[in-house]
């Protein structure tokens, strides 16, 4: 096990914790590989219903580990970054990110691989790469998917850092809480998701991933296919019967 990424479980919830606080949880190649492997393993484990990604220390993640950037084979680094920052687009189990402090550069891309982002009121977000002579090529697709290409471009061009409230308005963050409530709130949401129907979650996320590139007419046709299959499912029947019993 990589000490930089402790892994634990609570019921059907799988916890992944960035643990390089002395490096502001910077993403070295080893940590990137561990994250990809841990998410892949959780995705294939039927006992896992949801994933909670959090971090030790003051910051969620400061992005690429610049201490190894010039010494590591660039093709090797690119390959693992491409896999890491696109894993959310393939993941069919819900993932929640709990963000405190800085989530910048690759840290922002990592957070946005989650389906739900919970942030403390002191969290900060941005794409400051141009300040070191780099355009955030690998991260921008996931950022643009969350907030739109124009706003993602503005963040990349200006390198400005936004606070949690602005990030929430932009669509980076879903819920802003006080710092002492971050852990509890993120755990509550993740545990709720973990206990819901694995079939419904998988099919729903698959649908969302497939419609991302479709025109409205094609998306509607695909929705009809998924809806018909869901209507015939045991989960839907059991859910309706349980609802009726509660209302009786």
Prediction pTM value: 0.89
What dihedral angle (degrees, nearest 10) is formed by the CA atoms of 62, 34, 178, 92?
120
Query: pLDDT tens across 180-206, in order?
Result: 999 999 999 999 999 998 888 898 888
Residue with tokens 């687009």: 89
In the prediction, which pLDDT does 246 show? 75
User: 44-61: per-residue pLDDT in tens?
Assistant: 999 999 999 999 999 999
Low-confidence ranges of the chain (pLDDT < 50): none
Q: Which burial class, exposed, middle or buried, applies to 70 when counting CB atoms under 10 A from its CB (0-12, 13-18, 19+)?
A: exposed
CATH 3.90.226.10 residue ranges of the chain are: 7-194
Tokens of 15: 């916890």
What is the pLDDT at residue 239? Answer: 65
pLDDT of residue 240: 61
What CATH code would you report for 7-194?
3.90.226.10
């Amino acid at each position: 096990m990589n000490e930089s990424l402790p892994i634990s479980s609570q019921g059907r919830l799988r916890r992944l914790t960035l643990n390089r606080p002395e490096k502001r949880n910077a993403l070295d190649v080893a940590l990137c590989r561990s994250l990809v492997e841990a998410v892949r393993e959780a995705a294939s484990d039927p006992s896992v219903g949801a994933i909670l990604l959090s971090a030790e220390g003051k910051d969620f993640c400061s992005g690429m580990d610049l201490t190894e950037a010039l010494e590591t084979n660039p093709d090797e680094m690119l390959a693992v970054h491409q896999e890491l920052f696109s894993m959310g687009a393939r993941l069919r189990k819900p993932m929640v990110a709990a963000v405190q402090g800085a989530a910048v550069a690759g840290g922002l891309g990592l957070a946005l691989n989650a389906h739900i982002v919970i942030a403390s009121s002191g969290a900060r977000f941005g794409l400051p790469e141009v300040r070191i002579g780099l355009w955030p090529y690998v991260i921008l697709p996931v950022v643009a998917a969350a907030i739109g290409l124009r706003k993602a471009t503005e963040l990349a061009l200006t390198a400005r850092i936004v606070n949690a409230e602005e990030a929430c308005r932009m669509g980076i963050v879903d819920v802003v809480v006080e710092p002492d409530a971050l852990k509890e709130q993120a755990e509550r949401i993740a545990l709720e998701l973990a206990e819901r129907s694995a079939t419904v979650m998988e099919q729903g996320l698959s649908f969302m991933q497939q419609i991302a590139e479709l025109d409205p007419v094609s998306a509607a046709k695909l929705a009809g296919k998924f809806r018909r299959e869901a209507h015939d499912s045991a989960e839907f029947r059991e859910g309706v019967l349980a609802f009726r019993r509660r209302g009786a």
